[in-house]
């Protein structure tokens, strides 16, 4: 899991009232996808509002939706201080059909932000192939080109099948008009 963040200086006054009453709005997660592949690097971006002061012991965890306490995390990564940010990887759940969310947890154990839910899904055979460490970038490029060519060929085949059907219908119509006599 990778994380990045920014500290926001000021927010519109219409948002401030909501943030003062909801601890979960003190950290805002951004661009959270609907699903992720378990074997891919997971990026977690969030914004710290003026209602939270970062601490080196704060952390971001992955929680199964329905969690009750900060101890219900699946995995976590220490939240970097702005000057110490470095991308990294971490263990993530397997694709199990369950929904998860990121939560920002302070050094005192308070959850101060929760993302929208997402799930980990199995890779399609094509995604498996393209994320394989055994393929070079040139091989991945050739696979992608072959997939594009396949899509174009399928489209051409579909058009040809439609044209064939139209010609067969025209042939039957002409045959009926001639009274069914053979040529």
Q: CATH number of the domain that 40 lies in? A: 2.60.40.2840
Structure tokens belonging to residue 79: 């939240």
Q: Is residue 96 part of a domain?
A: yes
Span 40-77, pLDDT tens digits: 777 788 988 888 889 989 999 999 999 999 999 998 88
- Rounded to the nearest 5°, which phi and psi values hold at 111? -85, 120
Number of residues written out for the chain:
183
Residue 146 in domain: yes
Please state the domain count of the chain: 2
- The mean-pLDDT minimum among 78-92, 115-129, 141-155, 162-176 falls in 78-92
Same domain, 47 and 16: yes
Both 47 and 103 in one domain: the answer is: yes
Which residues pair with residue 23 across a beta bridge?
Answer: none
Check residue 111 and give its pLDDT.
94
Asked if residue 149 and residue 66 are part of one domain, the reply reads: no
8 A C-beta contact, residue 4 and residue 45: yes
| 104 lies in the same domain as 137 | no
Q: For residues 49 and 139, state if they share a domain.
A: no
Q: Which residue has the higher pLDDT, 111 or 36?
A: 111
Rounded alpha-carbon distances, angstroms, from residue 113 to 24, 48, 123, 129 = 4, 9, 29, 36
Same domain, 98 and 73: yes
The answer to whether position 183 is within a domain reads: no
In this structure, the answer to whether residues 95 and 137 fall within a common structural domain is no
Tell me what percent of the residues of the chain surpass a pLDDT of 90.
30
Terminal alpha carbon distance of the chain: 72
Let me know whether 68 and 90 are in one domain: yes
Output the pLDDT for position 178.
Answer: 86
pLDDT at residue 19 in the model: 44
148 membership: H or E segment, kind and range:
helix 137-177
Computed on alpha carbons and rounded to an integer, the radius of gyration of the chain in Å comes to 27
Identify the domain containing residue 153 by its residue range: 126-177
């Amino acid at each position: 899991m990778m994380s990045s963040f920014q500290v926001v200086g000021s927010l519109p006054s219409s948002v401030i009232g909501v943030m003062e009453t909801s601890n979960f709005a003190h950290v805002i997660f951004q661009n959270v996808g609907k699903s992720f592949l378990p074997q891919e690097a997971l990026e977690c971006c969030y914004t710290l509002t003026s209602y939270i002061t970062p601490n080196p012991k704060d952390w971001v965890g992955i929680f199964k939706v329905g969690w009750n306490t900060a101890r219900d995390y699946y995995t976590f990564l220490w939240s970097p201080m702005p000057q110490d940010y470095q991308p990294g990887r971490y263990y993530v759940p397997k694709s199990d059909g369950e929904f998860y969310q990121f939560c920002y947890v302070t050094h005192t154990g308070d959850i101060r932000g929760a993302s929208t839910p997402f799930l980990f899904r199995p890779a399609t055979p094509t995604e498996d192939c393209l994320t394989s460490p055994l393929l070079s970038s040139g091989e991945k490029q050739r696979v992608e080109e072959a997939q594009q060519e396949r899509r174009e060929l399928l489209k051409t085949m579909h058009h040809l099948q439609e044209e064939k059907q139209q010609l067969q219908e025209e042939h039957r119509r002409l045959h009926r008009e001639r009274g069914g006599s053979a040529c």
